[in-house]
């Protein structure tokens, strides 16, 4: 990696300050010093203090490089005396040993390393600025040097690097200060001698109030920007740096205008983000100035910056931070390397909590702006991930963004995240969401929990069962309306409430992991692209009008949403859990009252759900459950005969992603007016088969484009996810004696049934036993049909 270019994946993706000067060769002649100065000037880590040139305007950068080269030349003798490029040692003595050597009567003897020794030392410094004792011993033997000479060479080299960066940073800040001082003087001069813009004569007092206000706002904006640069420079250098803006004018009113400090100089897209240690020198590097509404809001701003920095590094860095595991076929977070690279921004992990982390990259058919708008709107975010988000809301907006865009937007949100099983409780998280544009067509959205900050500020809090460490996605535009999405999920959670059947799935990062988010996003974007297309997909029922397709899909969306809410017992509905002795241990039964809801039949609704492990692949199980010809093997509504598909609407390229309308071939007189609405979907994260009985007259209205909100239905169905490592699957062995686990599926079966049409009626024991028998019988029929009773 070098300072002037974009990040290099081959270097491990590291962004640490220790590798910033890894590619800066050093020699004692002036030409090398000038080249080194030019490299430092191009550093994205120093871009905040300087208006960087774009590719089309490199002349200014050359002149600045020449000025700095001249400055380096004037100090070359001084620097040569200070460090000798890390190549000279006084008998290999440095630090405290050198103080002891000063007390000796003998004369100091200098030792100059050979060019070959310097080349070897510089090569190792590129790879490892902090070699351990074993590496130093090996290098000293190879170069015929003492180990302490090697040790002190690296100490001097690191000291020299830090000194050069500090000098350059101070030089840039002085230049910025001079510029602001000159602008301020010109503003004050203009205010002392106002001129009328119409006649050119002296302006009457009072005519300049609007212009004066604009000048004051502009000056305040510049001052705020300089303060921000000083703060970031202090963070970069690791020591306090007093603001250089104190010598400008007396403080003017605060401004809510923003300043973009130049571009990153990238003319096109790159496979890696043009970001530096200051989280990027992209389209805009400044947060909007937020009115000071308390200490808590300023803490949110600091947390947003730290979380964004961590997300970007987590998305770009490969080994040793992320290690590819051949056993599980995905990346695993190296927690030791993570602890070394990052300081916990929300505090240490609570006792008894486990950590899950995952990363996934994929290409989706949506542009970056549309995806960012979806993620920053809580309602659209929930619609994009209906099987993963039970409920979400925006509780506060710290900043709405800059220039009419989402760049710099910060908002506080609450969400209930779900895995479709009654054995996994809903994850409630309160978090901050921060959106930032890093370059043209490159955006990042990060989430981080805020419970720790609220505890610090004294706000009322409840026991937290899940903490969201910096997680989110980095989105980069690609041709033809596609985007490359890199998703990172990093969570700490309490495992005590989770059933043992699902613990391996969650601890491996599969249950709520990045793969599931990217797979769901790809499937939903594909569905939206098909719906917006003017052509009818092959296999669709051509008799349904375009408005009829929209109404039917809207009805199916409501059906699936209600199914998920019934499985996970989210707060979408007010459920009452039953603890009945005649219900199986792993079956959860709940009830609620349905009143004044046109989309549901009125009365007492009973929901029953359970999850089991089956030694069957998810694809085979999904194909079996969605096949209308095999439905009679498990569904009592089919009356023992096959079902017939009378309408079909595709929702993706996979034939399994669709909405269907089914009719029983063996329909009796009592069911002559009933159809079955079914939605099926499948991706890498799992699959769904959701269905509900519906009236034929109501569906005729929907298929002709009528309002689907008045169609009453209660959904039932199945959720299928691949089991994770450590699940209770059997093992098989080959001829060599090696054994491996047989993969299977985690199947969730759920029913919602109207047990009484009177909302005030009492729930009977017989109704509970009937639903319990129904769910047990359905599971047994599925096992028998797939020949996996054991």
In tens, the pLDDT along 487-535 reads: 999 999 998 888 888 988 888 888 899 999 999 999 999 888 887 776 6
CB half-sphere exposure, 272, CA atoms < 13 A: 20
Which pLDDT belongs to residue 58?
A: 39
Q: What is the mean pLDDT of the chain?
A: 75
Which of left, alpha, beta for 24 (phi over 0: left; psi -120 to 50: alpha)?
beta
Task: Please give the average per-residue pLDDT across 652-680, as a whole number.
Answer: 80
Which pLDDT belongs to residue 737?
A: 52
> Residue 125: in which H helix or E strand, if any?
helix 115-127
Alpha carbon of 478 to those of 261, 367, 368, 653: distances in Å? Answer: 26, 8, 9, 21
> Residue 189: in which H helix or E strand, if any?
helix 147-192
pTM of the predicted protein model:
0.63
CA gap 708, 555 in Å, rounded = 6
601-631 residue pLDDT tens: 888 888 899 999 999 999 999 999 999 889 8
Which pLDDT belongs to residue 215?
A: 77
CATH code for the structural domain at 295-529: 3.30.530.20
Which pLDDT belongs to residue 129?
A: 85
Q: How far is CA 141 from the centre of its chain?
A: 47
Which pLDDT belongs to residue 736?
A: 54
Instruction: State the pLDDT confidence band at 280, using cuts at 50, 70 and 90.
Output: very low
> Residue 783: in which H helix or E strand, if any?
helix 765-785
**542 φ, ψ to 5°?**
-70, -15
CA gap 321, 333 in Å, rounded = 6
545-587 residue pLDDT tens: 888 888 999 999 999 999 998 888 777 777 788 776 667 778 8
Q: Are 723 and 729 in contact (CB under 8 A)?
A: yes
- Highest-pLDDT range among 117-121, 191-195, 256-260, 725-729: 117-121
Residues 6+ apart with CB under 8 A from 478: 269, 363, 484
pLDDT at 543 over 90: no
pLDDT at 258 over 70: no
CATH code 3.30.530.20 for 537-728+742-786: yes
Residue ranges, CATH 3.30.530.20, the chain: 295-529, 537-728+742-786
pLDDT at 411 over 90: yes
User: Of 729 and 675, which is predicted with more confidence?
Assistant: 675
Which pLDDT belongs to residue 218?
A: 76
CA gap 477, 564 in Å, rounded = 32
368-392 residue pLDDT tens: 999 999 999 999 999 999 999 999 9
Strand partners, 111: 89
As given in the structure block, the two tokens for residue 376 are 């920053």
Which pLDDT belongs to residue 611?
A: 93
Q: How far is CA 387 from the centre of its chain?
A: 18
**300 φ, ψ to 5°?**
-65, -40
């Amino acid at each position: 990696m070098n300072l002037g270019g974009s990040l290099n994946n081959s270097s491990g993706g590291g962004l640490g300050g220790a590798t910033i000067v890894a590619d800066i060769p050093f020699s004692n002649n002036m030409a090398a010093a000038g080249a080194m100065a030019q490299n430092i000037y191009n550093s994205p880590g120093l871009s905040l203090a300087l208006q960087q040139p774009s590719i089309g305007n490199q002349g200014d950068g050359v002149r600045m490089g020449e000025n700095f080269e001249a400055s380096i030349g004037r100090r070359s003798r001084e620097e040569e005396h200070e460090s000798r490029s890390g190549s000279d040692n006084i008998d290999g003595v440095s630090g405290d040993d050198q103080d002891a050597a000063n007390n000796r009567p003998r004369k100091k003897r200098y030792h100059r390393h050979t060019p070959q020794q310097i080349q070897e030392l510089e090569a190792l410094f590129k790879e490892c600025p902090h070699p351990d004792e074993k590496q130093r011993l090996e290098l000293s033997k190879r170069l015929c040097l003492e180990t302490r000479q090697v040790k002190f060479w690296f100490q001097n080299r690191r000291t020299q690097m830090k000194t050069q960066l500090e000098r350059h940073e101070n030089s840039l800040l002085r230049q910025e200060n001079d510029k602001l001082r000159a602008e301020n003087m010109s503003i004050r001069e203009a205010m002392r001698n106002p001129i009328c813009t119409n006649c050119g004569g002296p302006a009457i007092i009072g005519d300049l109030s609007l212009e004066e206000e604009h000048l004051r706002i502009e000056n305040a904006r510049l001052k705020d920007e300089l303060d921000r640069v000083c703060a970031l420079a202090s963070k970069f250098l690791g020591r306090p740096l007093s603001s250089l803006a104190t010598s400008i004018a007396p403080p003017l009113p605060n401004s809510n205008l923003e300043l973009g400090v130049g571009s990153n100089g990238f003319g096109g897209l790159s496979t890696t983000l043009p970001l530096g240690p200051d989280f990027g020198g992209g389209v805009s590097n400044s947060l909007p100035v937020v009115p000071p509404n308390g200490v808590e809001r300023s803490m949110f701003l600091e947390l947003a910056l730290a979380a964004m920095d961590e997300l970007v590094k987590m998305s770009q860095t490969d080994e040793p931070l992320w290690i590819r595991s051949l056993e599980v076929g995905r990346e695993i977070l190296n927690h030791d390397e993570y602890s070394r690279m990052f300081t916990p921004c929300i505090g240490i992990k609570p006792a008894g909590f486990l950590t899950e982390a995952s990363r996934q990259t994929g290409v989706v058919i949506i542009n970056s702006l549309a995806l960012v708008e979806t993620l920053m709107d809580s309602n659209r975010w929930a619609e994009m991930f209906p099987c993963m988000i039970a409920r979400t809301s925006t509780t506060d907006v710290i900043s709405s963004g800059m220039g009419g865009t989402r760049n710099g937007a910060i908002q506080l949100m609450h969400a209930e995240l779900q895995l479709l099983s009654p054995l996994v409780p809903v994850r409630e998280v309160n978090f901050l969401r921060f959106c930032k544009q890093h370059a043209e067509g490159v955006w990042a959205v990060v989430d981080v929990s805020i419970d720790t900050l609220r505890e610090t500020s004294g706000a009322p809090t409840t026991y937290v069962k899940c903490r969201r460490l910096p997680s989110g996605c980095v989105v980069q535009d690609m041709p033809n309306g596609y985007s490359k999405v890199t998703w990172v999920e990093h969570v700490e959670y309490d495992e005590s409430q989770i059933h043992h059947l699902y613990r391996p799935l969650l601890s491996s990062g599969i249950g709520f992991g990045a793969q599931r988010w990217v797979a769901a996003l790809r499937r939903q974007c594909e569905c939206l692209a098909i719906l917006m297309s003017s052509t009818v997909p092959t296999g669709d029922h051509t008799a349904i009008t375009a408005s009829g397709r929209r109404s039917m899909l809207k009805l199916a969306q409501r059906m699936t949403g209600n199914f998920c809410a019934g499985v996970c017992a989210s707060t979408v509905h007010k459920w009452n859990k039953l603890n009945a002795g005649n219900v199986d241990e792993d079956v959860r039964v709940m009830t609620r009252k349905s009143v004044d809801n046109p989309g549901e039949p009125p009365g007492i609704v009973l929901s029953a759900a359970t999850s089991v492990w089956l030694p069957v692949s998810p694809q085979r199980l999904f194909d079996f459950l969605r096949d209308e010809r095999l439905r009679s093997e498990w569904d009592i509504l089919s009356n023992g005969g096959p079902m017939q598909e009378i309408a079909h609407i595709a929702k993706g390229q996979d034939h399994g992603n669709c909405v269907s309308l089914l009719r029983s071939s063996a329909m009796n007189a009592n069911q002559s007016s009933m159809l079955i609405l079914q939605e099926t979907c499948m991706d890498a994260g799992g699959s769904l088969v959701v269905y509900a009985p519906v009236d034929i007259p109501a569906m005729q209205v929907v298929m002709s484009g009528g309002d689907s909100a008045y169609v009453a239905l209660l959904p039932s169905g199945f959720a299928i996810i691949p089991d994770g490592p450590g699940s209770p699957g059997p093992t098989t062995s080959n001829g060599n004696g090696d054994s491996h686990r047989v993969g299977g599926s985690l199947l969730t079966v759920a029913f919602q049934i109207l047990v009484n049409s009177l909302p005030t009626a009492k729930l009977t024991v017989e109704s509970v036993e009937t639903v319990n028998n129904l769910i047990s019988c359905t599971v047994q029929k599925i096992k028998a049909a797939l020949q996996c009773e054991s």
